[in-house]
Amino acid sequence: MPAKSESSRQHFERLLSTSEGVEELAGRLAGGEAPRPPRFPGGTRLDADAVAKRWTALDADASVRERLLGEGGVVDPQAYSRNIENFVGAVQVPVGVAGPLRVNGVFARGDFHVPLATTEAALVASYHRGARLLTAAGGASSALVNEAVNRSPAFAFRTIAEAGKFLHWALSQLDRMKAIVSESSRYARLLDFGATGEGNHIYLNLEFTTGDASGQNMVTLATQRICDFLLAGSPVAPRRAYVEGNLSGDKKASAQAFNSVRGKKVIAEVALPAPLVQRHLHATPEEMVDYWRMSALGGVLSGTIGVQGHFANGLAALFIACGQDPACVAESAVGVTRFELAEDGALYAAVTLPSLMLGTVGGGTGLPTQRACLELMGLAGEGKSGALAEVAGALVLAGELSIIGAMAAGHFARAHERRAREPRRGNHP
């Protein structure tokens, strides 16, 4: 969409006010002949000497170093050795608890106090309100209905005929590709793969399971081994080959997951009696459905992928607290919220999340504070990733109920003003 002329003119005026004119401003953008700064002493070492050299190079105020590296900032630097490069300290994010959140799941059954790490005032309070409502109703039904992590290697050929010969051969190699993955990994398993042709290009969408790990790195390594096999045995040598052709949807919102799954697909639902909705959310089921309907159309008009209120809020806070890859919120927060009025006047609410990328082993899940957050829910380690996914689904449902209730009742702005701007006094339920 082109920029509007008046807003563009005003922006250029602001830019020019910082310089002597267009030519001087252009000169800034072109850069200069200033000498290059010294090389930063990076690397993966976390010992005291390596960290001290980095801080010397930063030439920062001592108070900055104390806040990032001082007492309470880092428990044990060596605990981060597989998770960071150029280490100089750790950032603390406040953690609050929402719940207890009752989950009636296939893998998650019980009441969970869910840790949420955020700097956004009112976020934990909103999810806490929704969790209390779900628990008062007997809990949310939450089910992990599918799972697969994908990578999409891409191959470029000279002609579509060459691409066809390659694909015809590759489609007959599924069993061998499965064996290669199983022989080289304790946890990764190849389920199947699909193919997409575009001109003389072929994309293979490989689908894996990865045990209890989120699995992005695991499937990358497995895909590279598959690519090595395909390149060695193909009847037609591709001109170029890449381990990821950007078809998988990794770390970006896409509509593709709705047709299958990426990560873990979870559906959560609840039926809420009208008196319970009014008591906790100060709105009627009819008002909730009316707002949901209008907001769903607003999402369609704006071109969103999926229709929902704020999946990203709860998932980002949960991911940061529990050692997940925060960048995966970009894809995990794609989904659908649906509200309906039941025949008995109750509010039926459901959320569908087709691409939850999370795990309970690997990545940042073993870091000290992140492990503690998983342990707080009893969801640390092997055999717990399905339960974590179902808790995440129920948490998202709690957040949708709370925010839509605030919108329907006209309390949304007031709640943010009270919690984010006014001095805090006492405890707020």
What residues are annotated to the active site? 120, 325, 416
Spatial separation of the C-alpha atoms in residues 195 and 178, rounded to whole Å: 16
Phi, psi angle pair for 191, to nearest 5°: -90, -50
Spatial separation of the C-alpha atoms in residues 375 and 407, rounded to whole Å: 34
Spatial separation of the C-alpha atoms in residues 326 and 338, rounded to whole Å: 26
Tell me the longest C-alpha to C-alpha distance in the chain. Answer: 75
Whether 161 and 408 have beta carbons less than 8 Å apart is answered as: no
Pairing of strands 306-307, 263-272: unpaired
Distant-in-sequence, close-in-space partners of 130: CB < 8 Å, separation ≥ 6:
98, 397, 398, 399, 400, 401, 402
CB contact burial 74-90 (16+ within 10 A = b; e otherwise): beebebbeeeeeebbbb
CB atoms within 10 A of CB 139: 19
DSSP state of 319: H
Sign of the CA dihedral with 235 first, then 240, 243, and 248 last: negative
